[in-house]
A and B are shown apart, each in its own frame.
Chain A
């Protein structure tokens, strides 16, 4: 047969998770949907797209097979190969040096920027 079916061991790629994903609602691109991230993971791609996940896990709730795209695991894979967003690097450096993600803060000072991934 002409069909070359892709094997994805964890995600059935049904796409029912798209609309509940807050990141997909903003980005409106398949690679930022839970299915898209699972496809990228299945293809062995290490990409900063994996940081575009709020870790809310709403996708797991609606997934008919209960698949958890496990954003933490995908990001761990990125860290292992040295892939980080600049913001993430700053945040981690700040935590290590100052004990908070914002950097040096005077007593009672409110951070002016929220560093996030």
Chain B
């Protein structure tokens, strides 16, 4: 590994035990093995590192904040490339509502900076406090407000990526499909030009509780006709009790208008904070396995009913059909869920990605797609080797 250290400045490469342990897994807690960590300071650094990887045959695993839940940033005796030094923010273009940012910028940091301009990046995953722009692009993040703002692919005007040959590509909006949602399989995202939205002037919230699932789903059809609806979050009875709420099917409906019942900012913030704490609380309560199926409205009732009858806590972005059922360790019902979702025409991964966790569940079409992209961008299999292909 001496050769690698000679390529960078002191402090940019570490092989010490403490570093290797801290980078051996991401928030999925899927255990891997980290050989070395490199902190590139620039696009040139990443390109140099890739050329080294091609020569040595050692694979690279790009990493943002390590908040992923599928082992996408878990190394397999790999070199981890941490984007923590790539944190430059360009000036905001007020006219076009765009900004150029480095991949290592955390979302909340970006949005705090943009606040004075009245703008924000409206893709808000649950990990927004730490999640980086690069990681959000790689997973095509959706999150709490996807029903109004869509996913990351709607907001990436341009992406700069270093591919598996060490070549730098500046991909336009139409070409960004080669990196957005590709889980770092085609290269490492180093910079992006992002589209921004105006911060809504009005917000309000309604908390709805239902005894019967069918009644709730009927109500959702009505709620979705309101054009100011900006979030529609669901908790099943088992999830609601974990945050101290009544054991009912619960909806948090947010509006960018005064249509909601709660308009007090503190009260709304408290409810959102409670909702956002749910994931970690469920992990702490013994349900550490987070799934993320995306299910069409017509099949949601049967799958939600099955999950609730099974006593499985579920929450999620029901407005766009993404659910987060939580399972016990090594719970055999996870496989049952996958079969049910596939049979229902849904996707087993709605927003977390496939990572290490679901690689054997990739469809033939997806595998074929990835193989074609690998041939084009990463023929030496430098990036995320063993994930999806």
Known: A29-B84, A31-B22. A15 touches B356 (CB 8 A): no
Binary interface encoding of chain B residues 320-364 relative to chain A, with 1 for a CB under 8 A from any of its CBs, else 0: 000000000110000000000000000000000000110010000
Binary interface encoding of chain A residues 1-40 relative to chain B, with 1 for a CB under 8 A from any of its CBs, else 0: 1111110100011111111100000001111010110011
- In the docked arrangement, what's the CA distance between A4 and B30, Å? 6
* Chain B neighbourhood of A65, CB < 8 A: 277, 280-281, 283-284
Whether a CB of chain A sits under 8 angstroms from the CB of B31 is yes
List A residues 41-99 near B (Cβ within 8 Å). 43, 45, 47, 49, 62-65
- In the docked arrangement, what's the CA distance between A47 and B17, Å? 10
Least Cβ distance of B5 to chain A in Å?
16
In the complex formed, the residue of B with least CB distance to A12 is: B283
Least Cβ distance of A53 to chain B in Å?
13
Query: Is B21 touching A3 in the complex (CB atoms < 8 A)?
Result: no
Option from B17, B28, B37, B65 in Cβ contact (under 8 Å) with A18: B65
- In the docked arrangement, what's the CA distance between A4 and B85, Å? 30
Least Cβ distance of A37 to chain B in Å?
9
* Chain B neighbourhood of A36, CB < 8 A: 18, 22
Interface size counted on chain B using CB atoms at 8 A: 43
Whether a CB of chain A sits under 8 angstroms from the CB of B234 is no
* Chain A neighbourhood of B30, CB < 8 A: 3-6
- In the docked arrangement, what's the CA distance between A8 and B21, Å? 13
Binary interface encoding of chain B residues 4-39 relative to chain A, with 1 for a CB under 8 A from any of its CBs, else 0: 000000000010011101111111111100000101
In the complex formed, the residue of B with least CB distance to A16 is: B129
Known: A14-B279, A15-B127, A16-B130. A5 touches B82 (CB 8 A): no
Option from A1, A16, A40 in Cβ contact (under 8 Å) with B21: A40
Known: A3-B357, A4-B30, A47-B18. A13 touches B279 (CB 8 A): no
Whether a CB of chain A sits under 8 angstroms from the CB of B260 is no
Interface of A toward B, CB cutoff 8 Å: 1-6, 8, 12-20, 28-31, 33, 35-36, 39-40, 43, 45, 47, 49, 62-65
**A-B contact sample (11 more), CB < 8 A, given A6-B29, A19-B130, A36-B22:** A3-B356, A4-B30, A4-B31, A5-B29, A12-B27, A15-B67, A15-B130, A28-B84, A39-B21, A39-B25, A64-B281
Interface of B toward A, CB cutoff 8 Å: 14, 17-19, 21-31, 37, 39, 65-67, 71, 82, 84-85, 106, 108-109, 127, 129-130, 276-277, 279-281, 283-284, 288, 329-330, 356-357, 360
